[in-house]
Amino acid sequence: MKYPAVIKKDCIDWMSEQKENSIDCVITSPPYNLNIKYAEYKDNLSRQEYLEWLGRISDNIQRVLKEKGHFFLNMGSINSDPYIAMDVCQVFRENFFLQNNFTWVKHIAVHDTGYGQYKPITSKRYVSNTTESIFHFTKDGNAEVDRLAIGQRNKTHDKYPELYSEGRHIAVARRKISKRLGFKNYKLFMSGSDNDEKEDFETLLNEELKKNPYDPNKPKCIGNAWFIPYTPTSKLSKNIGAQADHNFRKVSRGNHPATFPLMLPIQCIKFSGIKKGSVVYDPFVGTGTTVLAATISEMKGIGTDIDKNYIEFSKKRLLTEAKHIQKELDIF
């Protein structure tokens, strides 16, 4: 098979033809069964039919995924059906272990400033929905990940100090040495030691900081809330080579009603820690975002979909957008 590959085929049929334990990472977002208007798929099954269908997909993913592989499942919900993501998670629980549960934050307000985009609602009962779930499934809950591949660097700010600033780094070293000398913490050491012991402590502290200096660029784990805003429609249109109508979803997203931003699968791939050349598969490839992310990340991307229009759009996007995105990879 040549990579990247986008294939017009039902995902269950395609997976049934693949070898066991052949895929390193699955990243996908299935239809949410919220009566969203797709071109081919009918998004209005009964809840039981929908969950049984996903159960068959779960069985197939479990078969083709490697023993230490990673499966990232993006699910959202609406205020009138708040349990759908949780119900779906329970289906995949039959075959997988929920190793990490991420919240995809599309929009966030910090003080009086908002960042990102979301679909606002007018309601006297509900707030606007600005998040979705990203379930990180593995076969046994023991698959190693690379948390720091998407880490946030240390830095010190005079007004909003980071949790691990230089001062915090020194405080941790002091506590470490205090415990080595038989004290619970640095404060107890200072109150229970004489001047000579304090001088010896400073010597030990300087040695510790010399051996393990503070690094402002050292990454730290960012936790399980991922702020990933959507790429503006006009920018997407230009990236795929559109000559006009840059502000229309049909042009920028292939008229697909439910896409996720490119940074989402890129972040999943980085976090998984899989090696370059690994196989990344999206059962519901839609506009090709996961396959594009895999290609940019030097992985072997595969996607399937039953809609020929989405497949054609994905192929066009892969041919044109990768070269534009490649220039921006330094920001990831």
Tokens linked to 219: 């990454």
42 DSSP assignment: B
CATH of domain 5-151+221-331: 3.40.50.150
Q: Identify the band that residue 38 occupies on the pLDDT scale cut at 50, 70 and 90.
A: low
Q: What is the pLDDT of residue 330?
A: 37
With residues binned 3-state (H G I as helix, E B as strand, rest as coil), the percentages for the chain, rounded to 5, are 40, 20, 40
Residues in CB range of 117: below 8 A, 6 or more apart = 106, 107, 229, 230
DSSP 307: -
Q: Where are the domains of the chain?
A: 5-151+221-331, 154-211
Q: Give per-residue pLDDT as tens, 83-123.
A: 999 999 999 999 999 999 999 999 998 888 888 888 888 89
What pLDDT, on the 0 to 100 scale, is given for residue 256?
52
Q: What is the pTM of this model?
A: 0.82
Residue with tokens 């972040």: 267
pLDDT in tens, 62-79: 999 999 999 999 999 888
Alpha-carbon separation of residue 101 from 68, 85, 166, 199 (angstroms): 17, 12, 30, 47
250-263 in b/e burial notation, b at 16+ Cβ within 10 A?
ebbbbbbebbbbbb
CA distances 272 to 21, 39, 136, 275, 298, Å, are 16, 32, 9, 9, 14
Could you report the per-residue pLDDT of 268-326, keeping only the tens digit for each? 999 999 999 999 999 999 999 999 999 999 999 999 999 999 899 888 888 887 665 54
Determine the Cα–Cα distance for residues 43 and 54; give it in Å rounded to an integer: 13
Can you tell me which residue has the tokens 């606007």? Answer: 128
Residue 86, amino acid = M
